[in-house]
Structure 1
Amino acid sequence: MAEHVTGTPERQRGQTRLRRGQVDTSTTDQRLLESRGPTDWVHTDPWRVLRIQSEFVEGFGSLADLGSAVAVFGSARTPADHPQYALGELVGRRLAEEGFAVITGGGPGAMEAANKGACEAGGTSVGLGIELPFEQGLNSYVDIGIDFRYFFVRKTMFVKYSQGFVVLPGGFGTMDELFEALTLVQTRKVTSFPIVLIGVDYWGGLIEWLRTTMLTDGKIAAKDLAMISLTDDPEEAVRLMVDSR
């Protein structure tokens, strides 16, 4: 153990320099090989970093060869007999027919619908699930499924492997994905890609508020609002994805 020039005890631990009462009396190897003692270390932040790293590695490895893909977002609460479910199926099918893999959150509702459409059309159906206390696993139409602990790792996979976003009617989770995509494009953190909202009646009020409040008050620019396409026509949404490819 080194000592500072003033005689203060000092130890280097990786990139961290410890002095005085922060200096450990044991070595890293000693603590690693010690079988006794508390087990709460597996819940500490340094250990979580390794779990986060493993999720990135697993995601990158599983999706590296995916090819052209489009993410479809929408509510997990959409019933199977709802017209919005049929809309999700159509979107997933048409994207698959155009050669896109379809990526969803892997859950029920609109996500299941898009996965079902892609799967039944012979396309690649991907589900990026998330550990939640109130949702039950990946839907049965997912061909490639990955479950994540961390939202930010999952979001990275959506953005990295999707060349466009199609957004069906949804709730907070859908809004979260939508506005994160808009922010990343606006700030040029990602290459610009098409973001299409399907459902004029559902999303129209939001777009109007963005135009009459945010834009009017100077909080966004006209070019920011132009990042969003709004339509009722799934064929138009698919065409925008094809054109961007």
Structure 2
Amino acid sequence: MGNPEASRGRREQRRGPVVRRHGQMQAGTTDQHLLDTRGTADWVHEDPFRVLRIQSEFVEGFGALAELPPAISVFGSARTKPGSPDYEAGVAIGRGLVEAGFAVITGGGPGAMEAANKGAMEAGGISVGLGIELPFEQGLNPYVNLGVDFRYFFVRKTMFVKYASGFVVLPGGLGTLDELFEALTLVQTKKVTRFPIVLFGTDYWRGLLDWLEHTLVDQGKVSAADLQLFHVTDDVEEAIGLVTKEAGT
């Protein structure tokens, strides 16, 4: 039948599942590029190699967290000051969750995250920190006794949900809101089930709740039933009770 490559006049190039034609064809073969030690190191910054890094992060995260007991993720601002009411609430929540039989997962940073990790560690529990590579390096706080650092936010966010049975959300900023709305979307779309979400601090969250009710619901962007996807409280014991009871223990 002849050489198909020749019959196409070199207008098509196949590399595994990838087909390149016309101006997208590349010189050489994949094996040549692999074995050519004279090439540059630019390939470590290209998308195909990033896929391997992403895969390795999932593997490392799954491996580190697979044997966790039931856990609750606690979110809140990295700017929360030690000794402040929000910080002390975080410590109490971390302690209470461990006493209820749960591990505590945070982003591993300072502020409210540190507070929850502190309460968990001081109660003798598993205190998990899932760190993230940022331009302003913070490192894991000293109260983490099981830590994993990630390059990619979306990998880290998967770990927060996969290995947690619920969320407690302390006052926080954009990162906290990102995690909150991610969780609400997953529950609303039934990607996760039996996943309680508790917002701590009624004064802090009041503006958001008013906007949800009087803008999103009133304009039909969400249903009134969506406001039942979460609870709001100022009471530490109530927060722990809500998130642990609905988590199924």
Q: TM-score range by the shorter chain?
A: over 0.9
Q: TM-score, normalised by structure 1?
A: 0.96
The SS at the match of 1:18 is strand
The SS at the match of 2:5 is coil
Task: Report the residue type matching 1:166 in the other structure.
Answer: V
Match of 1:186 in 2: 188
Report the Cα offset of residue 212 of structure 1: 1.1
2:5 matches 1:13? no
Aligned pairs for 1:1-245 (under 5 A) are: 2-3=4-5, 5-244=7-246, 245=248
The SS at the match of 2:20 is strand
Q: 1:231–1:4: structure 2 CA closer, same or farther, 3 Å change rule?
A: farther
CA distance in 2, matches of 1:106, 1:155: 13
Task: Report the residue type matching 1:72 in the other structure.
Answer: V
The SS at the match of 1:218 is coil
CA distance in 2, matches of 1:19, 1:229: 56
Task: Report the residue type matching 1:165 in the other structure.
Answer: F
Name stretches of at least 5 consecutive residues in structure 1 with no aligned partner.
Answer: none
> RMSD of the alignment, in Å?
1.4
CA distance in 1, matches of 2:193, 2:6: 49
The SS at the match of 1:147 is strand
Q: TM-score, normalised by structure 2?
A: 0.94
CA distance in 2, matches of 1:135, 1:232: 32
The SS at the match of 2:104 is strand
Indicate the larger mover: 187-196 or 99-108: 187-196
Report the Cα offset of residue 188 of structure 1: 1.6
Q: 1:135–1:223: structure 2 CA closer, same or farther, 3 Å change rule?
A: farther
Report the Cα offset of residue 9 of structure 1: 3.6
How high is the sequence identity, in percent, across the aligned residues? 66
CA distance in 2, matches of 1:104, 1:19: 48
Report the Cα offset of residue 211 of structure 1: 0.7
- Deviations 1:144-176, CA, capped at 9 Å, x for gaps: 101100000000000101110000011111111
Report the Cα offset of residue 134 of structure 1: 1.9
How many residues end up aligned between the 2 structures?
Answer: 245
CA distance in 2, matches of 1:22, 1:132: 35
Q: 1:2·1:10 contact (CA, 8 Å) conserved in 2?
A: no
CA distance in 2, matches of 1:164, 1:9: 54
CA distance in 2, matches of 1:5, 1:17: 16
Name stretches of at least 5 consecutive residues in structure 2 with no aligned partner.
Answer: none
The SS at the match of 2:207 is helix
